[in-house]
Structure 1
Amino acid sequence: MTEMHVRGLTIAVHAGDRDEALAFYSALLGREPDLGPDPDFYEWEISPGAWLQLATGRTDINPSSFRLRFQVEDIEASAGVLRAKGFEPGDIKWLPGLVAFANLTDPWGNPLGVYQDLGVVAGP
């Protein structure tokens, strides 16, 4: 029996109006999509082999049941940048030695956020 070797991942988010969705996610990520293979489908490579896919023009949106958080180097500065761009991140939550994060949602109710890795704690 051979093992499956996962080499990457894609995460798809459904959104409504194309122009509004592109503006929201381009501002959030600080750049335009890397790919737009279809007039209602766009992709950003977040890190090598990890892609955020945006499917726009949807009218039957059920917000995601999972939260998609993006890693940042400085959680406080990033939360400030988000606020300056008109986003509304929540309060920063700190788990000392582990992680700090702030949550927000997109206009269609999809749960998002940013986080900062504060270090690794060795397991038992």
Structure 2
Amino acid sequence: MIFEMTIQVRVKEINEGVRWYQTLLNKQPDFIPHDGFAEWEIIPGCWLQVAEGKPTEECGPLRFGIEDLEEEKNRLIKQLNINDFEIHSRGEVPVKWGTFTDPWGNRIGFFEYHNKAEESKRIKTILGNKVF
């Protein structure tokens, strides 16, 4: 039985990487067990690890579900100077999505449900009444 997960991205310089991901995630790391490594619990049981090392090319994308894709896109363009990215949508897919790269080449993205009732249902299923 799988009950938790982690995913790791690598950055060339950990302090710069931690600052960048703090801005991306709007929060400080939840756990820094040793030099060269930081972790954020994205939702209960789902961790993003940022490790100092050689970034893996053509990895990902790692996408996060959010409530307002356009708002988040605009925030990141302004705060992290990422390149503008296209938002994609297909009729048979319940979400719209967009992908960009961090300064180390890791592919990151977001997705937003078209149907806000479905989105609310997913949030409640995953988080319950907890505000994370």
Q: TM-score, normalised on structure 1?
A: 0.83
Equivalent residue pairs, number = 114
What residue is the counterpart of 1:65 in the other structure? 59
- Measured after TM superposition, the shift of residue 63 of structure 1 is 2.4
Runs of 4+ in 1 over 4 A off after TM superposition: none
The one-letter code of the counterpart of 1:88 is N
Which residue of 71, 82, 97 corresponds with 1:77? 71
The 5-angstrom pairing of residues 5-44 of structure 1 reads 5-44=1-40
- Measured after TM superposition, the shift of residue 65 of structure 1 is 2.4
RMSD of equivalent CA atoms: 1.6
What residue is the counterpart of 1:100 in the other structure? 96
- Measured after TM superposition, the shift of residue 42 of structure 1 is 0.5
Alignment deviations for residues 54-77 of structure 1 (CA, whole Å, 9 cap, x no partner): 111x1x332252210111101111
SS at match of 1:109: coil
In 2, Cα distance between equivalents of 1:29 and 1:40? 19
Q: Which has the higher helix share?
A: 2
Identity of aligned residues (%): 32
Q: Which has more radius of gyration?
A: 1
Alignment deviations for residues 14-71 of structure 1 (CA, whole Å, 9 cap, x no partner): 1111121111111111111111011111000000100001111x1x332252210111
Q: TM-score, normalised on structure 2?
A: 0.79
The unaligned stretches of length 5 or more in structure 1 are none
